[in-house]
Amino acid sequence: MTASDGPKILIVEDELPIRRFLRVSLENHSYRIVEAVNAREGLLLATSQQPDLILLDLGLPDMDGMELIHTVRDWSQMPIIVLSARGREQQKVDALDAGADDYLTKPFSMDELLARLRVAVRHAARAANSSSAEEPTFVLDDLRVDLARRQVFVASREVHLTPIEYRLLTTLIQHAGKVLTHRQLLKEVWGPDSISETHYLRVYMAQLRRKIESDSAQPRFLLTEPGVGYRLRTS
């Protein structure tokens, strides 16, 4: 893949040294870069350039990045990865609940950012192809989920899940690689009236891990984002 055909990344960041660092680093990995110095310019470029992904700083001079997330989500599901100095767990939760796909706290390593970018681009491609008539089969190492037959296999052995366990797993599969907050999972699996019942999620996640993980204390598939939520590993 060359820089001319790699994924297009929109960087919305007001600090020139950070923009320059991101541009050079990402172009070296065949990404195409578009830059915006504030939220209004970011929204204009998001609509005119149709990037594959947005890297967004929350502390912008003209508008809080949270408003930009809400605005983009009104018309697009393009991946948004937040890069912010705001490191408190609640701020991460708020950004993810608003529609961000991932969140990295400054300072971050370029290797980690590149890994998160690869996951987000794969997730977007999978979502774009999910409208096919044939239901897919999700495979990750020795975990296989036949979504058409509602069957789950670990190392070729069928695992029987309760309806809620299955719904929890398939919700994570639908958003594989993306951090889902406790609130998002509770809303999708149990409904909007249960978004504060975090003990439901803890109990059923523990049960699900016991069934599909070889060691539920050190999960390979169902990863915890401390204080925020859960992520299904994709590679």
Task: Report the CATH superfamily, name and number, of domain 8-129.
Answer: Response regulator (3.40.50.2300)
Range with the poorest average pLDDT among 9-13, 72-76, 85-89, 108-112? 85-89
Give the residue extent of every domain in the chain.
8-129, 137-232
pLDDT: which is higher, 12 or 127: 12
Question: Residue 3 — very low, low, confident or very high, per pLDDT cuts 50/70/90?
Answer: low
124-180 residue pLDDT tens? 777 666 544 456 889 999 999 998 889 999 998 999 999 999 999 999 998 888 899
| Three-state helix/strand/coil letters over the chain | CCCCCCCEEEEECCCHHHHHHHHHHHHCCCCEEEEECCHHHHHHHHHHHCCCEEEECCECCCCEHHHHHHHHHCCCCCCEEEEECCCCHHHHHHHHHHCCCEEEECCCCHHHHHHHHHHHHHHHHHHHHCCCCCCCEEEECCEEEECCCCEEEECCEEECCCHHHHHHHHHHHHCCCCCEEHHHHHHHHHCHHHCCCHHHHHHHHHHHHHHHCCCCCCCCCEEEECCCEEEECCC
Q: Is the pLDDT of residue 107 over 90?
A: no
Quote the pLDDT of residue 136: 84
Quote the pLDDT of residue 130: 57
CATH number of 137-232: 1.10.10.10
Quote the mean pLDDT of the chain: 89
189-212 residue pLDDT tens? 988 888 788 898 999 999 999 999
| Over residues 8-22, mean pLDDT | 96
